[in-house]
Amino acid sequence: MATKQLFITGNEAAVLGALEAGAKVMFGYPITPATEILQGWIAKTEKDDKLQYLQTEDEIAAGFGVIGAVLGGVKAFTASAGPGHILLQDPVSMAENARIPFVGIMMQRGGPSTGTVNFSQQEVNLAAFGGNGDGLRVVYSASSVAEMYEHVIKAFSTAWKYRLPTFVLGDGYLGKMKATVTLRAPLQSVAATPLLQEKGKATYIRNCYSSEEALGEVLAKNISDWNEARGKIAESESLHASGAKNVIIAHGLVASAVKEALPELRSKSISIGLFRPITLNPLDKKGLVRATESAKKIFIFESALNQFARIIRYELPPKDIEIVEIPKPAEGFTPEEIIKHVEGVL
Amino acid sequence: MTTIMPVSWNEKTKPHLFCPGCGHAIILKQLGFAVDEMGIPRDTTFGIDIGCSLLAWNFFNIDTIQTHHGRTVPVMAGYKMVKPKRVALAYMGEGGAYAIGLQSLLHAAFRNNPITVVVVNNENYAMTGGQMSPSTLPGTITATTPHGKTSGFGPGMKGPELVRGVADKTAFITRASVSNPMGIKMALKRAIENQIKNNSFSFVEILSICPTNWKTNAEASFDKLKELESYYAIGEVK
């Protein structure tokens, strides 16, 4: 396992992750807070003539450019945020149906339309369930600069192994914040393989069907593959959750704030732990069930209006647990606030 | 050797699914001959779009990718970046090219992406039932212009001339018509050659007929085509 210590931003970590994963081309359009991913990638292409980039006319073209390059059998990706992420739902819907290993790194912005250019967790619905499909796409949520690097590498492997579009979500600040990190590359990344035959029998990739049954067959296969893969893809982290009477559920940077709040809460003899989904889609249901086995109360903190909570509630088995949702759309949480919220309820 | 059907055609999918009299069949036949004669069926990747062009998703013994709304242009541009030795064709209707996907078409030409874009211009959105398209001629009655296309919707959009305005000087840009199938083949061959030899953008608009939505018989279809040809000049746009 290769390790390296660096002082870098989340956006820089994303670029290093894409490089480590073997990405060869990036398509993108400048947008805060993800712009430095495009710029950082372009800087890498200056030093390596095997790497390419295209600054496209919009994010729709960026996404379809990714699809084109992937159809050429090459690892390709884009990075965007907010309104750009909305436009990317068009190519990602096609990638979802045609099983194209699309990779997108989304640094979430606040609010609808252009909103703020800062922080939010409001692109969870979009990443997991956006587009005219059923949400058969993988969504990682990074909670630190180091994780941004690791998840980007993993995203390429997941995308190519299972042929699923895969997003890595960061919450705005994560792209811009700088941290000293030890980069740990996960196991060797899954190689890119050709999607078109090119020389042999012709390959036909379409996303149009003339009958409900014909499309139904494709969707049934995609859903069956998804159900088989989801247990292998789903990841989570549990911290002191086992046996705890209270469990906080959070993701991304909010989960990092919870980690800072936990020691103080626990020092006050509060039985409390953290369950942090690493993949928001598919969710680690087994991990969630284990982490909440002894829980009487669950706190769901998120910087959006119940987008993450809906995913948790759907997967949570029916049980006598009180669920306290603390949504704070497009605003962050400090550890002190989290402590205050929990103490206010208990 | 002249054959009745192009060798590059996938004969299992013939007879094709286009409406009787549709111009697509004439154009795809000439495209097949062009690819055959250039000896490139194994080197070609065919991108098609939404609308009537999607019916060609398994038309050839050639790798084919179908997408929508003119996005076949950025798909083929992205593909060509990583497969520079392949011949990349992007085939679509004028709705995808000149309306919803115009931004991508213009920028691919502007960047001189070395792909060949083929636009079948039958001056209506045929798959959805004959609505007005950017190239519909003034006064034409369509499903969305019940009293005829008025000046409020502009004149007929001249795609090749528009593309010429932003394209690199090495780009080959031309207009052909289904009234002259040989002319289509020659135009396609020159366009593909430009991609291969000059690593440059090329663009072929082909004026086509749509008897189903035009509600015309064979004679009236070609009469209307003549009208289109008098507005949209055939030949290279320099």
- Considering only the top CATH level, what class is A236-345? alpha beta
pLDDT, position B2: 59
Among all chains, which residue has been given the structure tokens 């030093």? A47
Q: Where are the alpha helices (DSSP H) in A183-274?
A: 212-233, 252-267
Choose the closest CB to A64 out of B66, B75, B111.
B75
Helix (H) or strand (E) holding B81: helix B72-82
pLDDT, position A319: 86
The CA-CA-CA angle for residues B187, B189, B193, to 5°, reads: 120
pLDDT at A99 over 60: yes
- Considering only the top CATH level, what class is A3-233? alpha beta
Alpha-carbon span A93 to A64, nearest angstrom: 11
Residues of B within an 8 Å Cβ radius of A:
10, 42, 45, 50, 54, 57-58, 60-69, 71, 73-83, 86, 103-104, 106-107, 111
User: Chain A: nearest CA to B92, how far in angstroms?
Assistant: 14
Cβ distance of A94 and B67 shorter than 8 Å: yes
Alpha-carbon span B98 to B197, nearest angstrom: 27
How many interchain CB pairs under 8 A, A with B?
120
pLDDT in tens, B95-108: 999 999 999 999 99
What b/e sequence results for A33-63 when a residue is b if at least 16 CB atoms lie within 10 Å of its CB, and e otherwise?
bbbbbbebbbebeeeeeebbbbebbbbbbbb
Name A87's Cβ contacts closer than 8 Å, sequence gap at least 6: A58, A59, A60, A63, A80
In three-state secondary structure terms, B73 is helix
Would you call A336 an interface residue with chain B, using a CB distance cutoff of 8 Å?
A: no
pLDDT in tens, B2-14: 578 999 999 999 9
Specify the amino acid at residue A240: H
Choose the closest CB to A206 out of B66, B73, B83.
B66
In 3D, which of B19, B42, B16 has the Cα closest to residue B29? B16
- Closest chain B CA to residue A52: B81
Check residue A282 and report its DSSP letter. Answer: S
Would you call A45 an interface residue with chain B, using a CB distance cutoff of 8 Å?
A: no
Check residue B127 and report its DSSP letter. Answer: T
User: Chain B: nearest CA to A210, how far in angstroms?
Assistant: 10
- Which chain B residues touch A56 with a CB distance below 8 Å? 74, 107
- Closest chain A CA to residue B52: A208
Mean pLDDT of A178-197: 89
Cβ distance of B81 and A25 shorter than 8 Å: yes
Alpha-carbon span B93 to B121, nearest angstrom: 6
Question: Which of A70, A71, A94 to probe by mutation at the B interface, max B CB count within 10 Å?
Answer: A71
A84 pLDDT band, cuts 50/70/90, is very high
pLDDT, position A188: 82
Cα of first residue to Cα of last residue in chain A, in angstroms, is: 43
Mean pLDDT of A136-150: 97
Name B1's Cβ contacts closer than 8 Å, sequence gap at least 6: none
Alpha-carbon span B146 to B150, nearest angstrom: 10
- Which chain A residues touch B63 with a CB distance below 8 Å? 196-198, 202-204
ipTM comes to 0.97
User: Chain A: nearest CA to B223, how far in angstroms?
Assistant: 32
pLDDT in tens, A294-337: 999 999 999 999 999 999 999 998 888 999 999 999 999 999 99
Are B93 and B49 a contacting pair, CB within 8 Å? yes
Cβ distance of A25 and B82 shorter than 8 Å: yes
- Which chain B residues touch A65 with a CB distance below 8 Å? 74-75, 77-78, 81
Mean pLDDT of chain A: 96
pLDDT in tens, A267-292: 999 999 999 999 999 999 999 999 99
pLDDT, position B69: 97
- Which chain A residues touch B111 with a CB distance below 8 Å? 54
- Which chain A residues touch B97 with a CB distance below 8 Å? none
- Closest chain B CA to residue A25: B82
- Closest chain A CA to residue B42: A199
User: Chain B: nearest CA to A88, how far in angstroms?
Assistant: 12
- Closest chain B CA to residue A53: B81
- Which chain A residues touch B58 with a CB distance below 8 Å? 202, 204, 206
pLDDT at A155 over 80: yes
Choose the closest CB to B42 out of A25, A199, A208.
A199
Choose the closest CB to A64 out of B71, B80, B82.
B71
Query: Hey, what's the torsion of the CAs at A202, A23, B103, A90, to 10 degrees?
Result: 70
pLDDT at A2 over 70: no
User: Chain B: nearest CA to A164, how far in angstroms?
Assistant: 17
Choose the closest CB to B74 out of A68, A196, A205.
A68
Among all chains, which residue has been given the structure tokens 């409390």? A272
pLDDT at A4 over 90: no
pLDDT at B1 over 70: no
B32 pLDDT band, cuts 50/70/90, is very high
Pairing status of strand B172-177 against strand B235-236: antiparallel
Are A276 and A239 a contacting pair, CB within 8 Å? yes
Give B116's strand partners: B89, B202
pLDDT in tens, B128-176: 999 999 999 999 999 999 999 999 999 999 999 999 999 999 999 999 9
In three-state secondary structure terms, A98 is helix
pLDDT in tens, A320-331: 899 999 999 999
Are A296 and A321 a contacting pair, CB within 8 Å? yes
Q: What is the C-alpha radius of gyration for chain A, rounded to an integer number of angstroms?
A: 20
What b/e sequence results for A104-114 when a residue is b if at least 16 CB atoms lie within 10 Å of its CB, and e otherwise?
bbbbbbbeeee
Give Cα A233 distance to the centre of its chain.
Answer: 12
Choose the closest CB to B81 out of A54, A91, A205.
A54
| Cis peptide leading into residue B138 (ω within 30°) | no
Domain ranges of chain A: 3-233, 236-345
Cβ distance of A68 and B76 shorter than 8 Å: yes
Pairing status of strand A272-277 against strand A246-249: parallel
Structure tokens at A278: 């690493």
Would you call A198 an interface residue with chain B, using a CB distance cutoff of 8 Å?
A: yes
Q: What is the C-alpha radius of gyration for chain B, rounded to an integer number of angstroms?
A: 16
Homologous superfamily, domain B20-236: Thiamin diphosphate (ThDP)-binding fold, Pyr/PP domains (3.40.50.970)
Cβ distance of B104 and A61 shorter than 8 Å: yes
pLDDT at A246 over 70: yes
Are A93 and A69 a contacting pair, CB within 8 Å? no
Would you call A24 an interface residue with chain B, using a CB distance cutoff of 8 Å?
A: yes
Are B72 and B64 a contacting pair, CB within 8 Å? no
Specify the amino acid at residue A177: M
Cβ distance of A202 and B64 shorter than 8 Å: yes
Provide the phi-psi class of A111: left if phi over 0, else alpha when psi is between -120 and 50, else beta: left
Mean pLDDT of chain B: 97
